[in-house]
Structure formats: C-alpha cells, structure tokens
Amino acid sequence: MYKIVTKKELAPNIYLIEIAAADVAKKSNPGRFVIIRLDEKGERVPLTIAGVDLNKGTVATAFHAVGRTTKKLAKMKAGDSITDLSGPLGNPAEVGKFGKVLLVGGGVWCAPLHYVAQALRKNGNKLVVVAAGRTENDMVYVSELKAVADDFCVATDDGSKGNEGLDFLADVLKAQKFDHAVVMGPVSMLKKVVDLTRPYGLKTMVTLASLMVDGTGMCGACRVTVGGVTKFACMDGPEFNGLDVDFDELISRQRLYLPEERMASMIHDKLGGGVKRG
C-alpha cells in the first residue's frame, strides 16, 4: 500500500498529490512516470512525475479528475492509501545544457513541466516558459514556472488571461533563436506547437501520454509512429522529438477506449464509484 501524504486542489478539478514511495523518489528523474492502481479492481494509470521530496520520501503527481480512476483519486484524502505504485518508468527527459530553451506547458501538465524546467535551469540553460490553460481558472503552477523562467508568459484558449491561444508563439520563434524546446500538454497542443516550431527545424521534445497498460514494454498499447518506425512510448519514450511524431495516428489511438471510459465515468458519477465520498 502507498499512502497519500498530501493532497491539494490546484485549480477546479486539478489536484496535486504526494504519495509515500521512498525507493521510487530516490530514483526519479524529470520526464518519467509512475503507474498507479487504486484498489484490487483498479486499472493501471500512468501519471507523469511532478517532483519528489527525498526527506519525506514522496513522489508528487498532478492529475485532472476526468476519468473513473482520477475521479476516485480526487475523492481520496491525505492519509488514505492506494494499492499500487510502480516507477519510475520510462526514460528521463533530456535536460542537458542546450543554451536557450523554450518550454510550453498546458493545463495540468505545467506541474511535471516544472520538474523538467528546474533540471534544465540547474544545468545552466536560459528558459523561456509559456504556461497555458483553457481558461484563467485552469492554470496551475504559474508562479512556480515563473520563478524558474528567464522570460515568462501566459496563454489561455479563451483569452481570459495572457495571450489568446498559442499562435503568438509564431512571432516568438521568429524573433528569437532557440536551441531546444520542451512541450508537455494535451496531444492537440503538442501538435499545435510542433507545427509552429517545424519551420525552424527546432528539436521539440514532446512527452506522450499514450494509452498504456503495463508501462514496461509488454502490451504495445502505447505504440506510436516516430520517424516512420513504430515505437513504444513506455520503452523508447515517453519523450520524443515531436518533429518525427505521427500525431494524427496518436490522436486516433488515444480515442480507442473513449466509449468505455465515458461509460465507466458515468457509472462512477451515478454510483459514487465504490469509494466513500469525501
């Protein structure tokens, strides 16, 4: 059993939890993920690591409560335990010394992006950071990202705060030369940013949250075409150069279980999902 040590609501329906897993914390790196399973009947869900606290022996991860498992998790409290946590899985993100780095985070992904940004900063890179969200209310980790950035701005889909949408990046990319870019967010956003960086041939690392079951190379559910070759996000990624990723296939694969996910989520909403309401 793995104990939830702290739980915070970062924004409506977006949470950050710290889970006691000292061995995992010691071996964690930015860009890697854990797989959690809440209980005996639970599914295995990958969540990107948003940071660790070695003194407390905890691993932090942020999630948006949209599916059955994340909704159940949102109802759990500090002091409750989950049955399984496996990690760190996947490969670390590239955080070497590049020079000037563009970082773009979307919604809940700003939390793990902050973990990557800290490492990039520590390694002497100059960071231009964009924190994005659907609306002003969906923004998380804004002050944390701002604190590690040399240059920082905000964007929202509806323009309720900062730039409206990400089109402004076209001008940023035109005006400044970057040596590396890191994007973490929903797949549609990854695709959007990569389309903007492509004309400059800027290596744009994207972290892929593909469908996964085991997360260790066994199932192949996370397969994604990168540079014309099938790769497993869990084994070869989850970070890939976005310029080589077949996003359309990825988007289509991510929708594979939407009907079942909706059904499970609906059952959860109707029945309370078998977990006591907090």
Partner 1 sequence: MDKEKRKHGIEMDKQNVLERIHNFYEVALGYNEEQALAEAERCLQCPNPRCVTGCPVEVPIPDFIKLLKEKDYVAASLKIKEKNSLPAVCGRVCPQENQCQAMCVLGKMGDPISIGRLERFASDFERNKGVQIPELEKAAVTGKVAIVGSGPAGLTVAADLVKMGHEVVMFESLHLAGGVLMYGIPEFRLPKEIVQSEVSYIKQLGVDVKTNYTIGRIYTIDELFADGFDAIFVGSGAGLPNFMRIEGENLGGVYSANEFLIRVNLMKGYLFPEYDTPIRIGKKVAVIGGGNVAMDSARCSLRLGADEVYIVYRRSKEELPARAEEVENAEEEGVIFRLLNNPTKFIGDESGWVNAMECIKMELGEPDASGRRRPVPIKGSEFTMDVDTVIIAIGQTPNPLIQRTTEGLETTRHGTIIVNEETGAATKDGVFAGGDVVSGAATVISAMGAGKTAARGIHDYIQKKKGAK
| Residue 267 interacting with partner 1 (CB under 8 A) | yes
Stretch 179-218: interaction string toward partner 1, x if CB under 8 A? ----------------------------------xx-xxx
Contact between 278 and 77 (Cβ < 8 Å):
yes
Q: Which of 97, 199, 263, 272 binds partner 1 (CB under 8 A)?
A: 263
| Residue 269 interacting with partner 1 (CB under 8 A) | no
Q: Which is nearer to partner 1, 66 or 213 (CB)?
A: 213
Q: How many residues bind partner 1 (CB under 8 A)?
A: 41
Stretch that binds partner 1, among 46-54, 80-88, 128-136, 178-186 (CB under 8 A): 80-88
Q: How far apart are CA 235 and CA 216, in angstroms?
A: 6
The CA distances from residue 107 to 14, 16, 185, 221, 224, in Å, are: 9, 12, 7, 25, 23
| Residue 257 interacting with partner 1 (CB under 8 A) | yes
Q: How far apart are the first and last CA of the chain?
A: 20
User: Between 247-254 and 187-197, two packed helices, what is the crossing angle to 10 degrees?
Assistant: 170
Contact between 192 and 166 (Cβ < 8 Å):
yes
CB atoms under 10 Å from CB of 266, counted, come to: 11
**Minimum CB–partner distance for residue 231 and partner 1 (Å):** 11
| Residue 87 interacting with partner 1 (CB under 8 A) | yes
Q: Closest Cα partner for 35 from 234, 247, 262? A: 234
CA atoms within 13 A on the CB side of 217: 6
Stretch 217-256: interaction string toward partner 1, x if CB under 8 A? xxxxx-xxx----x----x-------------x--xx-xx
The CA distances from residue 105 to 23, 111, 116, 253, in Å, are: 28, 8, 11, 22
Q: Which of 58, 86, 118, 197 binds partner 1 (CB under 8 A)?
A: 86
Identify residues 36-65 at the interface with partner 1 (CB under 8 A).
37, 41-44
| Residue 165 interacting with partner 1 (CB under 8 A) | no
> Where on the chain is the footprint of partner 1 (CB under 8 A)?
23-24, 27, 37, 41-44, 68-69, 83-89, 213-214, 216-221, 223-225, 230, 235, 249, 252-253, 255-257, 260-261, 263-264, 267
